[in-house]
Amino acid sequence: MARKALYSVEEVLSNAIQVFLEHGYNGAVMDEIIARTDFNRRGFYMEFGSKQAFLYRVLEHYIKTHLDPIFVHLEQNAGLPSIHAFFKDYIQLVKGRGCLLVNIVTEMGFDDEPVRDIGRHHLDRLEIGFIGCLEKGLEQHQVKSGLNIEATALQLCNYVQGFAVTAILAGQTDELDLATNALLEPLAA
Amino acid sequence: MARKALYSVEEVLSNAIQVFLEHGYNGAVMDEIIARTDFNRRGFYMEFGSKQAFLYRVLEHYIKTHLDPIFVHLEQNAGLPSIHAFFKDYIQLVKGRGCLLVNIVTEMGFDDEPVRDIGRHHLDRLEIGFIGCLEKGLEQHQVKSGLNIEATALQLCNYVQGFAVTAILAGQTDELDLATNALLEPLAA
DNA sequence: AAGCTCAAAGAACAGCTATTCTTTGGGAAC
DNA sequence: GTTCCCAAAGAATAGCTGTTCTTTGAGCTT
């Protein structure tokens, strides 16, 4: 039999995240993608078919490996501490880099419906997660009583998108960490 | 003497905004830019020099014609109503389209220092504007007394960036208008 | 009206980019 | 050890993209 493939799809996708983060979709050229993913052209097109199909796979992988583990905080629903933990990890993720999903949505969302759908789904999930945590926080008297949960969840969703943009501008400063504290403190009971 | 140029630089820049909003910088091709700006190639390169130099001009024009008139609300500093007016106009601007400045920052910010500088400047201006309005609002008892001004301004800045992203996903719905009300209401006295 | 200058239109070009094809050689199976 | 299959590497290709060049003719000046 023939030799086995040496590359790991997982690893290729992980390496590609960084390239798309740096240059966006249209700015990332195949030569760099091939080089930095430690892949080879033939294998690339056999595995993924096209640059665009590849992007969708990278996005899916980014969500699974980078965003999902952060969402877990919200989904395990421990009230306000979950929200704090979520933001702490999210900021760590986007600091000096931005968020791949947000970057791709702003670059291609107008033209690309699948990308818009993924973005919307992510936003819905975020909102639901926050609502759950705020309800729990209210139950357990962690958050100010009388808090408008729907409006607050919306507010937190906006912080997330806003951080994704600010993270690119703020570089490696801890501007965002300070902001989180300032933003979440008013919620506490 | 020779005939005079027929095109108006102002108009070319205005038309280009739409093209960059739809496809981003790298996704916008010269053929479409030339066609939709009602310009001609030779004139284009005489006037602007290159696609990249053109982008900076378009960005500058976008800020002057689209963002500045909205910032005026904050700078005339009439307290809370100024903030409301700001968001009303901003949402009108970005609805279904997004914000060119935010889109360009997320697409090219990592690679392009001038773009990052413009983005940072815009963010600073926004924060200063909000702080001014909140101070005035506090003076005039329009906003809740004891409000943490710095933190609230930060919060409002995040709403702005967040809206720019959400606007692409929300399309033409009035989701954002409803969100504004929910977000600003808690500030009122 | 005639001549001249430069804007408009778009053809041409050079370099780049996504994709495909060719060659090479590593290693599994016997 | 030999054979053979397929992965790796990268050369080749076709089409696209930013930029420049050529041609044409509109309108200002006299």
CB contact under 8 A, B106 and A164: yes
Lowest mean pLDDT of A78-82, A169-173, B125-129, B151-155, name the range.
Answer: A169-173
pTM summary value: 0.94
How far is A160 from chain B, CA to nearest CA, in Å? 7
Cβ-Cβ contacts under 8 Å, B102 against chain A: 106, 165
Rounded to whole angstroms, the distance from the CA of residue A34 to the C1' of nucleotide D3 is 32
Instruction: For residue A4, give the nucleotide whose C1' atom is nearest its CA.
Output: D7
How much is the pLDDT for B6? 66
How much is the pLDDT for A1? 44
B103 contacts chain A (CB < 8 A): yes
Residues 123-152 on B with a CB inside 8 Å of A are: 123, 148, 150-151
A108 contacts chain B (CB < 8 A): yes
Mean of pLDDT over chain B: 92
Is B4 (CB) below 7 Å from strand C?
yes
Rounded to whole angstroms, the distance from the CA of residue A48 to the C1' of nucleotide C30 is 34
Rounded to whole angstroms, the distance from the CA of residue A43 to the C1' of nucleotide C24 is 16
Spans in chain A with pLDDT lower than 70: 1-6
CB contact under 8 A, A162 and B162: yes
How much is the pLDDT for B1? 42
Confidence of residue B176 (pLDDT cuts 50, 70, 90): confident
How much is the pLDDT for A63? 97
The 3-class secondary structure across chain B, one letter per residue, is CCCCCCCCHHHHHHHHHHHHHHHHHHHCCHHHHHHHCCCCHHHHHHHHCCHHHHHHHHHHHHHHHHHHHHHHHHHCCCCHHHHHHHHHHHHHHHCCCCCHHHHHHHHHCCCCHHHHHHHHHHHHHHHHHHHHHHHHHHHCCCECCCCCHHHHHHHHHHHHHHHHHHHHHHCCCCHHHHHHHHHHHHHEC
